[in-house]
Structure 1
Amino acid sequence: MAKSLLFIPDISGYTKFIQTTEIEHSQHVISELLEVLINANTQKLQLAEIEGDALFFYKQDEVPSQENLLAQIETMFTAFYSHLQRLEKYRICPCNACATAPNLQLKIIAHTGDLSHIEVHGTRKPFGEKVIEAHRLLKNSVESDNYTLISRSLALEIQLSPYYSSKLFRFRQGSDSYDDKDLEYLYSLIDREQLSLPSLEEPTRVSFNRPPNILLEKTFPIAAENLMEYISNYSYRSNWVKGVDNFEFNENEITRIGTKHTCVIDGKDLNFSTVITDAEDNELVYGEVTSDAPFLDELNQFFIITPISDTESQLKSEIYWHINSPAKRLFANLFVKPVLKKNTEKALERLHDFVIEESIKAA
């Protein structure tokens, strides 16, 4: 029987991250990272299981070459840190989960051996001693949370020298005892500065050198960070924005600059992108722009939240539009503006009521 590859990317710092940050956003961050790692699978590895903070891949009766295995490892590290870089650069959420996500790290364990399988509820999974060994190797004495570890048996299989060195990899030898059995391995710490991370565009800050077409303000009995969540998390929109048939968005993604969502109204799609504008240091800002609003060439709405105390905040809603046609501008001022202002006032009132209802539930 040909040997198989066992391959486990594991997110370091997961337990502390989950326990000390906002649970919903921390789950979203981990979900996004796991999806990024799955999409970075270039060697056609089979996904056996998602194990909380880790992915268990295998390649049945085949072990990639040394070159392909190291390339796969580098690809996953690059994808992982590229996504963390994106989370940090385009972040608008002030919560601890989003703020501390860039501190997460990655380790990848690779092992080899003969595989057996077990079927559970119709799902066939790798089973046996080598699977246990691969998972045992996650608990090792490497003094880092950011590395790749290749078992000695796999290193011999792909002819990987203990002295192998490249721009990214510099392998060392190690061993640990598990169940009275020594397992030897090679490991290399990974310096993220040596990864070829793609450059990211600077986030565009939308600004206007004129007053807003509509300006509304309202005080809310809630902390600024929590109000920001109710506004920027699209799963709450139906509680305070009425007249929309459906809100379409990625439920597993945290809202950040560039995030897309769609409002379906009378069968028509209004596509929005998340944007930001300049604000004071103590202000939180969420903004969105669309080119699909009727009679308007472009519509920008900003929610600017200023903390008053730990339990109170001031919300300012600014709406700007751009119209090329003079006739349309006149129509917008006469007919669109009163309707949009009234609808926005009602939405803020419903948001205020929703905030109070949620506070009562939490009490």
Structure 2
Amino acid sequence: MSQTLLFLPDISGFTKFVQSTELSHSQHIIAELLELLIKSNNMDLVLAEVEGDALFFYKEGPLPTKEELEAQIEAMMVAFYSQLRLLQKNRICPCQACISAPELDLKIIAHAGEVQFMTVQDKPKPFGPEVIQAHRLMKNSVDSDRYVLLSQALATQIGLQEGPQNQDRVFVSGRDSYDEVEVEYQYHVVRQETLDLIPHAPPTRVDLDTAPTFSIKRSFPVTAPELLEFITDYSRRPQWTDGLQGLEYNKDEVTRLGTPHTCIINDKHLNFTTVTKDGAPGQLVYGELTSSAAPIDQLYLFYLIDSDGDSACSLEFQAYMQGSALWKKGLIFLMSSMFKKNMGQGLDLLLEAVQNAPSSDASAS
């Protein structure tokens, strides 16, 4: 029987992250990370199962070369930690899930052996002692949350020796006992600074040197973070955006700087990107920019939220309607009063939606 590679990327810190943070955002963040790991599969691995915080891949023989396996591991490590850096740099949400996401880590376990398969819902699933062995190796004595571990059986077959593989990768021998059976492995602790992380465009921070075209103020009976969550949760937009015919956005992504969404209003597609600007100390700032609201060249919408105690906050909405040509500036002047009226009505609907939301929804982040 040919050898089968068993490959398990596992997110470290998952249990603490989910138990101690806001559920909705922690779910989105973990889902994003798992999706990235799946997309980083460059070796035609077959996904057998999503196991909560881990992915269980396999690949029937022949086994990959040492170089192929190292390249696959590198691709997943780079994708994972690049995403964590993006979440950290572009975060706008103050919830604990979004703040603590960069503290997550990744470990990868790999093993090989003769594997049987069983069919569950017309899908083959690896089965047998070697599958059990691979999962046991996830519970080891390695003193780190960021590492790569290869069973000695796999390491031997691909020619991986203990010691330096290159200047950044040094494998060390380890062993643990499972049900009184000693299992040997090779592992190396990954240093994040050695990874060639994917560069991301810097977050869009706007420095506007003019006063807003208009502003509107409202008070809300929820905390500032709760109101920010309500505004940035695009699934709620129909509750307070009059004339909204459709909304296009990534439902599995937490809103952050650079996040796009499209509002369809009066048969027009308005493409927005999340931006920010400097606010007062302690102030929460969320902004959107569109260049598709003709005749306006650039339309900035900012929501500045200040805390007013334990269960209340104040909102200042600011609109910047910019046009380069003189005729556009004239039209903007004529349009601004109607736009202000419509936005005022929208904020009234927002207040009504917040007041009518179940307490668990209003406080979810």
Quick check: 1:167–1:194 contact (8 Å CA) kept in 2?
no
Select between 344-353 and 197-206 the one with higher mean Cα deviation: 197-206
Letter in structure 2 aligned against 1:99: I
Whole-Å Cα distance in 2 between the matches of residues 349 and 298 of structure 1?
Answer: 25
Whole-Å Cα distance in 2 between the matches of residues 24 and 242 of structure 1?
Answer: 26
Report how far residue 360 of structure 1 moved.
Answer: 5.4
Alignment correspondent of 2:119: 119
Deviation string 1:212-261 (CA, Å, 9 cap, x unpaired) is 11100001111000000001111111111121111110000011111000
Deviation string 1:44-97 (CA, Å, 9 cap, x unpaired) is 111111111000111112211011111111111111100000000011111000
Quick check: 1:9–1:108 contact (8 Å CA) kept in 2?
yes
Alignment correspondent of 2:23: 23
Whole-Å Cα distance in 1 between the matches of residues 264 and 124 of structure 2?
Answer: 41
Alignment correspondent of 1:138: 138
Alignment correspondent of 1:6: 6
Letter in structure 1 aligned against 2:283: E
Quick check: 1:168–1:195 contact (8 Å CA) kept in 2?
no
Alignment correspondent of 2:343: 344
Alignment correspondent of 2:256: 256
Whole-Å Cα distance in 2 between the matches of residues 304 and 271 of structure 1?
Answer: 21
Kindly report which structure 2 residues correspond to 1:273-352, keeping only aligned pairs within 5 A, or say none: 273-334=273-334, 336-352=335-351
Whole-Å Cα distance in 2 between the matches of residues 332 and 4 of structure 1?
Answer: 66
Whole-Å Cα distance in 2 between the matches of residues 263 and 208 of structure 1?
Answer: 24
Kindly report which structure 2 residues correspond to 1:158-307, keeping only aligned pairs within 5 A, or say none: 158-307=158-307
Alignment correspondent of 1:92: 92
The secondary structure found in structure 1 opposite 2:170 is: coil
Report how far residue 198 of structure 1 moved.
Answer: 3.0
Whole-Å Cα distance in 1 between the matches of residues 361 and 163 of structure 2?
Answer: 58
Report how far residue 122 of structure 1 moved.
Answer: 1.8
Select between 136-145 and 165-174 the one with higher mean Cα deviation: 165-174
Letter in structure 1 aligned against 2:64: P
Whole-Å Cα distance in 2 between the matches of residues 104 and 49 of structure 1?
Answer: 21
Deviation string 1:3-59 (CA, Å, 9 cap, x unpaired) is 110000000000000000000000111001101111111111111111110001111
Quick check: 2:321–2:332 contact (8 Å CA) kept in 1?
no
Whole-Å Cα distance in 2 between the matches of residues 115 and 165 of structure 1?
Answer: 29
> How many pairs does the alignment contain?
362
Whole-Å Cα distance in 1 between the matches of residues 141 and 314 of structure 2?
Answer: 51
Letter in structure 2 aligned against 1:338: S
Alignment correspondent of 1:357: 356
Whole-Å Cα distance in 2 between the matches of residues 270 and 10 of structure 1?
Answer: 39
Report how far residue 128 of structure 1 moved.
Answer: 1.1
Whole-Å Cα distance in 2 between the matches of residues 362 and 171 of structure 1?
Answer: 48
Deviation string 1:104-151 (CA, Å, 9 cap, x unpaired) is 001000000112111112222111111111111100111111101000
Quick check: 1:25–1:254 contact (8 Å CA) kept in 2?
yes
Letter in structure 2 aligned against 1:4: T
Normalised TM-score (structure 2): 0.96
Quick check: 1:3–1:114 contact (8 Å CA) kept in 2?
yes
Identity percentage of aligned residues:
46
The secondary structure found in structure 2 opposite 1:299 is: strand
Alignment correspondent of 1:68: 68
Normalised TM-score (structure 1): 0.97
Report how far residue 361 of structure 1 moved.
Answer: 6.7
The secondary structure found in structure 2 opposite 1:165 is: strand
Whole-Å Cα distance in 1 between the matches of residues 298 and 265 of structure 2?
Answer: 17
Structure 2's unaligned 5+ residue stretches are none
Whole-Å Cα distance in 2 between the matches of residues 324 and 242 of structure 1?
Answer: 28
Quick check: 1:215–1:318 contact (8 Å CA) kept in 2?
yes
Deviation string 1:253-295 (CA, Å, 9 cap, x unpaired) is 0111110000112333111000001112200011000011132
Alignment correspondent of 2:48: 48
- 1:175/1:361 Cα in 2 relative to 1: closer, same or farther (>3 Å)? closer
CA root-mean-square deviation: 1.4
Letter in structure 2 aligned against 1:273: T
